[in-house]
Amino acid sequence: MTSQTIRELYLSPNGDRWTLRRNSAGAFAVCHQPNPSSGGRASETELTNFLSQSSRGPEYEALLRALSDLGMHGREPSAVAELTAECVDYLSRALGQAVARCWSQLGQDAQHDLFEAAVESEGEKIRQQLAIFLHGKHDRTVDAVHAQATLEPDSLGG
């Protein structure tokens, strides 16, 4: 089983190691190397099989981060085909949450393009609800709400 390591994924506290590799057939695979004291044998699981397993341990999360970091969808069309629908949904949610957290730091053009892409993806029915949601994620909006909630000395009846 000749394979080429692409990236180290995770080293567990007990010494088990997971790596992302290309196997001899050129397919992506996750290799698990147990710690030496366990006496276990190394195993290799094709990427699609690994992603479809129900276990969502830290090695699974590390693989998702690695796939995202490597940007495989742009250079490796076959890698995206290997992702399960559940994995694509998970990655899409993670990206959406990251965009929402960073919303106020994005330029207006980027905000507009992302907003319109979301509406195009989900339909006009979300336009108003999304606008309200994102308005609440903007620093200027949040700061204004906090300022209004702060009682001024004159409003205390004095």
Give residue-wise pLDDT tens across range 59-113. Answer: 888 888 888 777 654 344 344 445 666 777 777 888 888 888 888 888 889 889 8
8 pLDDT above the threshold of 80: yes
Domain final residue, candidates 35, 52, 83? 83
**Looking at the structure, do residues 21 and 77 belong to the same domain, yes or no?**
yes
Question: What is the arithmetic mean of pLDDT over 136-156?
Answer: 56
Domain assignment present for residue 143? The answer is yes
**Looking at the structure, do residues 11 and 68 belong to the same domain, yes or no?**
yes
**Looking at the structure, do residues 109 and 43 belong to the same domain, yes or no?**
no
**Looking at the structure, do residues 16 and 61 belong to the same domain, yes or no?**
yes
**Looking at the structure, do residues 78 and 137 belong to the same domain, yes or no?**
no
Q: Domain span at residue 72?
A: 1-83
List, for residues 110-135, the tens digit of each pLDDT value.
Answer: 889 889 988 988 899 999 999 998 88
Domain final residue, candidates 33, 50, 83? 83
Cβ pair 128, 115 in contact under 8 A: no
Q: What are the DSSP E strand ranges found in the chain?
A: 4-11, 17-22, 28-33, 43-46
**Looking at the structure, do residues 1 and 76 belong to the same domain, yes or no?**
yes
Domain final residue, candidates 38, 54, 83? 83
DSSP code for 154: G
Domain assignment present for residue 97? The answer is no
**Looking at the structure, do residues 70 and 117 belong to the same domain, yes or no?**
no
Domain assignment present for residue 92? The answer is no
Total number of domains constituting the chain: 2
**Looking at the structure, do residues 112 and 43 belong to the same domain, yes or no?**
no
Domain assignment present for residue 94? The answer is no
- How far apart CA 13 and CA 17 sit, in angstroms, is 10
**Looking at the structure, do residues 76 and 12 belong to the same domain, yes or no?**
yes
Closest to 79 measured CA to CA, from 56, 53, 46: 46
| Percent of the chain whose pLDDT exceeds 90 | 17
What are φ and ψ of residue 4, in 5° steps?
A: -110, 120
pLDDT class for 18, splitting at 50, 70, 90? very high
Question: What is the arithmetic mean of pLDDT over 13-32?
Answer: 87
**Looking at the structure, do residues 77 and 110 belong to the same domain, yes or no?**
no
